[in-house]
Amino acid sequence: MLQNDPLRDRIIGRFDEMSPQLQQAARYILEHPQEVALVSMRELARNAGLQPSTMTRLAKFLDLPGYDDIRAHHAEALRFRADGFAARAMQHSENEQDMAAAQLSRRMLQGLAAQIARLSEPASLERLSATADRLAQARRIYVLGLRSCHSVAWHFHYVMALLGEKTIHLDGPADTVGDGLIRAGAEDVLLAISINPYARHSLELAELAREKGLGIVAITDSEVSPLVGIADHAILCSTESQSFFHTLAPALAVSEVLCGLLANKDRTAALESLQRADRHLLSLNTYASAIPRRRI
């Protein structure tokens, strides 16, 4: 049971002032919070041996507009608890035209945080480490992410390129996206990233890779994503956001975790590679820590 529930406290606090019937209703609600969320008021009343109106009266007694507020409150608590994690703001329901900017931002950010936190459930963790294992044992990792997923694919490749030459990013202009697969074979793995709506080209290339015997590993958004069918391992991450667009932050987080797991398989090698990369970039004068004087 969740502590710090203001409605519960109010019920408890004013319990003594209630009439017998109201007390019975209140008691039943306190003792069966899930039922309140999952069952109609009339059925709840029936189960509690009460008249439907008693429930409405209880709501009014608590200075609420109606019973629906009681139910909404319990539903929210159940959502919250079922996810087990903080901040559950996800609801499209409000059409508050042109919400305050700050409010929209807050909802989006907390929603994203919750989605990423949810990835740390045991089931996801297992998938992550299985996927990382599969990637680790591959000779090469071909990375494919088109359109919106380009950012994730590119970032994965960028980070992995700092660690070695294991990844090949499938991308390119003039319809050469798939050319990288020319020399790919059964010892290799394709990391395919695609979310709804799925880019046709991504699916075609994934299928081609499968026919060539590559292992397939996917980051996608649903159990029924077309990639799940052809992938040896799939990691699912939600893409819903409080805005018009899908979010890729959870997918990016997954990608970063995979990089972390891979690097972690051989920490000393990883460190060494990173240092070499550092030296290289240093000698190229790639980085700066202040605005450089403009050459004239």
Partner DNA sequence: CGTTGTCTGCAACATTTGTTTTATATATTG
Partner DNA sequence: CAATATATAAAACAAATGTTGCAGACAACG
Residues 29-48 that bind DNA (CB under 7 A): 40-43
CB 97 within 8 A of CB 49: no
Look up tokens 């798939």; give the residue: 178
Total residues at the site for DNA (CB under 7 A)?
A: 23
In the bound state with DNA, the residue whose beta carbon lies nearer, of 16 and 175, is 16
CA proximity to 154, closest of 138, 175, 171: 171
Q: How far apart are CA 262 and CA 167, in angstroms?
A: 12
From residue 141 to residue 180, the character string flagging contacts with a second copy as x (rule: CB under 8 A) and all else as - is ------xx-xxx-xx--xx--x------------------
CB 189 within 8 A of CB 215: yes
Query: Which helix H or strand E contains 54, and what residues bound it?
Result: helix 52-61
CB 159 within 8 A of CB 259: yes
Handedness of CA 251, 256, 261, 266 (dihedral sign): positive
Q: Residue 249 binds which one of a second copy, DNA, none, with CB within 5 to 8 A depending on kind?
A: a second copy
Q: What is the DSSP letter of 248?
A: -
Closest distance of CB 78 from a second copy, Å: 6
Q: How far apart are CA 165 and CA 225, in angstroms?
A: 30
Q: How far apart are CA 220 and CA 195, in angstroms?
A: 5
CA proximity to 239, closest of 142, 115, 121, 125: 115
Considering only residues 10, 14, 35, 51, which one is a binding residue for DNA as defined by CB under 7 A?
51
**Any contact of residue 230 with a second copy (CB under 8 A)?**
yes
Tokens of 48: 């509690």
Total residues at the site for a second copy (CB under 8 A)?
A: 119
Residues 58-77, interacting with DNA (CB under 7 A)? 59-60, 65-68, 71
Q: How far apart are CA 106 and CA 139, in angstroms?
A: 43
**Any contact of residue 209 with a second copy (CB under 8 A)?**
no
Closest distance of CB 54 from DNA, Å: 6
Closest distance of CB 62 from DNA, Å: 12
Tokens of 290: 């202040």
Considering only residues 7, 21, 37, 133, which one is a binding residue for DNA as defined by CB under 7 A?
21
Q: Residue 68 binds which one of DNA, a second copy, none, with CB within 5 to 8 A depending on kind?
A: DNA
In the bound state with a second copy, the residue whose beta carbon lies nearer, of 182 and 291, is 291
What SS3 class is residue 172?
coil
Q: Residue 280 binds which one of a second copy, DNA, none, with CB within 5 to 8 A depending on kind?
A: none
Q: Residue 233 binds which one of a second copy, DNA, none, with CB within 5 to 8 A depending on kind?
A: none
**Any contact of residue 94 with DNA (CB under 7 A)?**
no
Q: Residue 54 binds which one of a second copy, DNA, none, with CB within 5 to 8 A depending on kind?
A: DNA
In the bound state with a second copy, the residue whose beta carbon lies nearer, of 140 and 155, is 155
Considering only residues 26, 59, 141, 177, which one is a binding residue for a second copy as defined by CB under 8 A?
26
